[in-house]
Structure 1
Amino acid sequence: TQNIIDTQIIEVPSGVGNFRYVRASGDGQITLEGSNSILGTWTNLGNLSGIGLTGSQVEGPMWMKFNGTDKWALYLDQYASGGGYMPVLTTDPSNPAAYQKQASRSYNMGGTKKRHGWILNLTAAEESRVLARWPNTPAQRHQSFNFQDRYVRHTNFDVRIDPNVNPLDDSRFRLRTGLAGSGTVSFESVNFPGYFLRHSNFDFQLVYNDGSSQFAQDAAFRQVAGLADSTWSSFQSYNHPDHYIRHYAYELRLDPITTATARGDATFRVTS
């Protein structure tokens, strides 16, 4: 009879509380319910108004179990104040009286506001694979050889070289291990994570990685000695190895390089 939103369910280990499953929902409060079957009967356990958190203040509950201990955080979106997530901690998700608010100085949600999410636990092996694939690669800029006041940048998802780039992050990319594999590099945007420089019909755009083999090939390049200056760099296409990244009329494109002008256009300094 009561409309609910933002429901999330967790499975609780044996010996913790009286129910196998606990769900948190928004229904005017942050209501907790327990059940021993996902499709069975749910028992209303209470809500978090006892610790001063009501549905007029918070919504979007998100569970997270700490590794190695029977302790949970229930993250709540402070939508009324625009504050994003805050965690409340408990050792028994089924007991509303066991939840404890945390001082804001005791947690850090990072520089961007988090809302309505989910946290996935990783095994040590999974963590190692993730860190190997996406290391903490520094953000770098790519300076034009023959127009040295200009840098590669994206604008409205098009790619060109410009001076005085604002915001600066439009011209900053992470040189990731190439999406097509070892020996290649791919350019991931700093301010649009998951978006990479990709050629399509030999034109360049900033595009979200769709995970396809075609995308991986179009977004992968071999970094070689600069065609106009060996102390700089040039970038050879993975799937069109006779073509290189170059600018033409300040727009980035993929071309075969046959002239001295084109060699200058295809040469860049990778710099912080």
Structure 2
Amino acid sequence: MTRIQTFNMKRKFFIRHHNWEGEINEIDRPGPIKDFDWNVIFLGMDNGFRLVAFEAVKPAGYFLRHKNFRLVLSPDDGTEQFKMDHTFRETAPLVGDPNEGWHSYQAFQQALSDRFIGHIDLHLYIRARSEDLMEFGDPKRIGDGSWRLV
């Protein structure tokens, strides 16, 4: 079991699921604490990058996947589309020191390879690095796409 911390918030914010959607929040917020707990599933390697999926601890068997660029919690339906949508490349962080455990998670699909898991107003998306995450070279914005497993 692990928790996934975002890089760019002053306080410690972590990925959680709420109402079947991916969010970030502080752990001390109201709601089930298990919503912050994930199993990071190793799926193999791709050109030197680890491929991973994020499975909720509760409910087990549900994974973060992207659907219309939004990260949602879904059960594995066995389709090729699901496999593509729930698989992420673990890359060097867009910002942050990799020696401190920071990473970024890139969409696996070739057509979406410019997109990384990021957040806007506490909601999780796969966001284009060239547009959303690098807006005006703002380090805070770039940090939306960097995460640490704790």
User: What range is the shorter-chain TM-score in?
Assistant: 0.7 to 0.9
Rounded to whole Å, the distance in 1 between the matches of 2:35 and 2:117 is: 18
- Structure 1: 5+ residue stretches without partners: 1-138
Output aligned runs, 1:7-22, within 5 Å.
Answer: none
Rounded to whole Å, the distance in 2 between the matches of 1:268 and 1:249 is: 16
| Alignment counterpart, residue 142 of structure 2, candidates 236, 258, 263 | 263
Match of residue 38 from structure 2: 173
Whether 1:149 and 2:12 are equivalent positions in the alignment is yes
Provide TM-score, normalisation by structure 1: 0.46
Higher relative contact order (CA 8 A, sep 6+): 2
Please state whether the residue corresponding to 2:3 is helix, strand or coil: strand
Match of residue 248 from structure 1: 120
Rounded to whole Å, the distance in 2 between the matches of 1:195 and 1:238 is: 18
Please state whether the residue corresponding to 2:2 is helix, strand or coil: strand
Q: CA deviation at 1:144?
A: 1.1
Match of residue 238 from structure 1: 108
Rounded to whole Å, the distance in 2 between the matches of 1:233 and 1:168 is: 24
Rounded to whole Å, the distance in 2 between the matches of 1:185 and 1:208 is: 16
Paired residues of 1:142 and 1:268 also in contact (CA < 8 A): yes
Instruction: Name the aligned partner's letter for residue 173 of structure 1.
Output: W
More strand by share: 2
Rounded to whole Å, the distance in 1 between the matches of 2:141 and 2:114 is: 13
Provide TM-score, normalisation by structure 2: 0.82
Instruction: Name the aligned partner's letter for residue 184 of structure 1.
Output: L
More helix by share: 2
Paired residues of 1:187 and 1:219 also in contact (CA < 8 A): yes
Per-residue CA distance 1:153-205 (angstroms, 9 max, x = gap): 00111111011254221011111023xx5331000000111100000110110
Rounded to whole Å, the distance in 1 between the matches of 2:126 and 2:52 is: 16
Match of residue 88 from structure 2: 221
Q: Give % identity.
A: 33
Rounded to whole Å, the distance in 1 between the matches of 2:141 and 2:69 is: 15
Instruction: Name the aligned partner's letter for residue 38 of structure 2.
Output: F
Per-residue CA distance 1:228-250 (angstroms, 9 max, x = gap): 11321110110121100000111
Please state whether the residue corresponding to 1:153 is helix, strand or coil: strand
Output aligned runs, 1:190-229, within 5 Å.
Answer: 190-229=57-96
Q: CA deviation at 1:256?
A: 1.0
Give the RMSD, CA atoms, in angstroms: 1.3
Output aligned runs, 1:20-39, within 5 Å.
Answer: none
User: Which stretches of structure 1, 4 residues or longer, exceed 6 Å deviation after superposition?
Assistant: none
Larger Rg, first or second structure (1 or 2): 1
